[in-house]
Chains A and B, each alone.
With several copies, the nearest count.
Chain A
Amino acid sequence: MSWTRMQMAERLVREFQDGWVVNLGVGMPTMIADVPMGDRDIIFHAENGVIGYGAVCAPGTEDLNLVNAGGQNVVLNPGASIVHHADSFALIRGGRMDVTVMGAYEVAANGDFANWKLKGAKGGGIGGAMDLAASAQRVFIMLEHRTRDGASRLLPRCSLPITAAGVVTLVVTDLGLFAPLGEGFALRDLAPGVTLEEVRAATACPIIA
């Protein structure tokens, strides 16, 4: 047993506090906007200047000129506003994001993470990840614990070029919830049916339980 991607999203959402401004990256994190927030008032910010968006539109109801960072057509919640890219990243660099949630290839015990460039590639895809990682109040990472080849994505140090240094607050994987501690990761929560031994076996650096 382990967490599905939706359960990973739900587990991270439990960490959100009332009133937070949340930026969701492309890929897995987009699912977070579909998780019920209960009575918490959460504002979603997309890097393309959409403040206060909500769920993905039902087919046929889309406004084709309204997308989130992942290019999905979304709805606007009451109180939403639109700004241009410079103002959108002004809010990001200005520290107005309480948290950014991003996917990654690797995350390291020293708080570094890598999500823009693959091994041996000349270029990559940065998008807004470096700006968000450098300036959000918290950086939450969502990723599968292991690669398809079974290698740990939680590492002592990143092997790929990093997106930002020492910024990661929390990491959720299919196996659990973790916080980088310098030389290893603190285990904050275990997926149901997963044991500490399984996590340790799957991880290339110490897990502090």
Chain B
Amino acid sequence: MARNKTYPDFDAAVADIPDGAVIAIGGFAGPGTPYNLIAALARRGAKRLTCIANTTGGAHKPRMPDIGMLVENGQVAKVICSFTAATRASDVLPFTKYYESGEVEAEIVPQGTLAERLRAAGAGIPAFYTPTAVGTELAEGRETREINGRRYLLEYALPVDFAFIRAARADSTGNLRFHRSQRNFNPLMAMAAKTTIVEVEEDILPAGAIDADDVHTMGLVVHRLIRVPPPPMGLWTRKREVAR
């Protein structure tokens, strides 16, 4: 377990991502979002990507690196997410116009189904049934099944090539800890991915520094770690640091 998975910088960590890759990007409303890895992927310029995330990015200012930015950069073929538009008509997401015009494809998935499809991919479960979305437009033409008197929709696993995630703390073997709601999709995406790349907010600890009972994501599914440089050198370590 002694292998050190630390990478020197964000660009090195994404240097082998090919055109056409499936990238899952963690985060929910800020916490746990791997801003530095998204920015590195924009610099790398890989194209025809499929991006999986809860949203394509917010309508907030200042703008943070997000999927919308990769879309504007011409790198994205398809997005799988639970929002292609904001629910409030007054909030306009940068992504929405690309989707509405047909420039980028999108698959809109209920958030719990998105989480469960990622979990299934990581768990070797190719498909499962869920009550979510039954009777809605999303279920039209799709396979359903009645089990114990209730109708369920068949959903398939969502395997991932590269997961981009952000954690509070890591040891050199890749064991991770998240702080508070930073956890969100991140553990699932790490489980679902062939290669998991993590930006870490604190210095990377020696193996064993995180007690075995306290690990949120096991190093077994984590491949590359990059320390987020402390401000002011670091980019986007926290929303506030950008907003200042």
Which chain A residues have a beta carbon within 8 Å of chain B's beta carbons? Answer: 19, 21, 26-27, 41, 43, 45-52, 63-67, 69-71, 76-96, 103, 115-118, 121-132, 134-135, 161-166
Contacts and interface: CB of A to CB of B under 8 A. Distances in A.
Contacts of A87: 191
A64 B231 CA distance: 16
B135 A77 contact: no
Nearest to A25: B87
A43 B220 contact: yes
A15 B125 CA distance: 29
Q: A87, A118, A163 — which one has the most chain B CB atoms within 10 A of its CB?
A: A87
A134 B152 CA distance: 10
B89 A90 contact: no
B29 A67 contact: yes
6 contacts: A65-B182, A67-B29, A122-B99, A125-B83, A126-B111, A166-B135
Given A123-B106, A129-B110, A78 B87 contact: no
A66 B31 contact: yes
B8 to A, nearest CB: 21
Interface string B53-80: 0100010000000000000000000000
Interface stretch (B10-18, B44-52, B205-213): B205-213
A47 B29 CA distance: 12
B86 A125 contact: yes
B195 interface: no
Contacts of A67: 28-31, 181
Nearest to B3: A41
Contact of B29 (A48, A118, A131): A48
A48 B28 contact: yes
A84 B185 contact: yes
